[in-house]
Amino acid sequence: MKLKRLLLLLLMGTVSAGAGVYAHHSFAVDYFEEQTVSIEGEVEQFQLKNPHSFLYVKVKDDKGEPQTFAAEWGGLSRLERRGVTADTFKPGDFVIVTGSPGRKASERRIHLKGLHRPSDGWRWPQPQRSSQ
């Protein structure tokens, strides 16, 4: 009888763990995580939300035509804990975004890894403060 209970608990644990993994996909599904690209342009919109925030950046292509890129970033609570608010970016802010390019180039998406606003020196990731 104890063996049946143990097997049932193991089965339930395995199913629960699998559900958690399935619920949050890997970024590697949508992005070339082993590659890095950089874009620069003006912020169109910033959406601070869950499960992921998005920074939309207007970038000029090789012909000088504006193209909007969606930079996928961390979730609401993670970014807020690090001081990012809905007012951190305003339309027209010039930014430089680095990250992993999307697997479908036509979607113009980037998994944001680094962010710089030269006008005031704001950067992501932010330097860690010393606890001394």
Of residues 11, 104, 23, 94, the one with CA closest to residue 58: 94
Q: Which pLDDT belongs to residue 14? A: 43
pLDDT < 50: residue spans in the chain: 6, 8, 10-23
- Cα gap 63→67, rounded to integer Å: 11
E strand or H helix at 7: helix 2-23
Q: Which two tokens stand for residue 13?
A: 């644990």
Say how many C-beta atoms besides its own lie within 10 A of residue 47's C-beta: 13
What does the domain layout of the chain look like in residue ranges?
A: 28-124
Whether the model pTM is above 0.85: no
Q: Which pLDDT belongs to residue 105? A: 94
Cβ contacts of residue 97 below 8 Å, gap of 6+?
38, 39, 40, 55, 57, 69, 71, 110, 112, 114, 115
CATH number for the domain whose boundaries are 28-124 = 2.40.50.140
Q: Which pLDDT belongs to residue 27? A: 86
Say how many C-beta atoms besides its own lie within 10 A of residue 48's C-beta: 19
Q: Which pLDDT belongs to residue 3? A: 57
Q: Which pLDDT belongs to residue 5? A: 62
Q: Which pLDDT belongs to residue 67? A: 97
Q: Which pLDDT belongs to residue 1? A: 58
Helix (H, G, I), strand (E, B) or coil at 48: coil
Q: How far is CA 88 from CA 6, 24, 62, in A?
A: 51, 26, 29
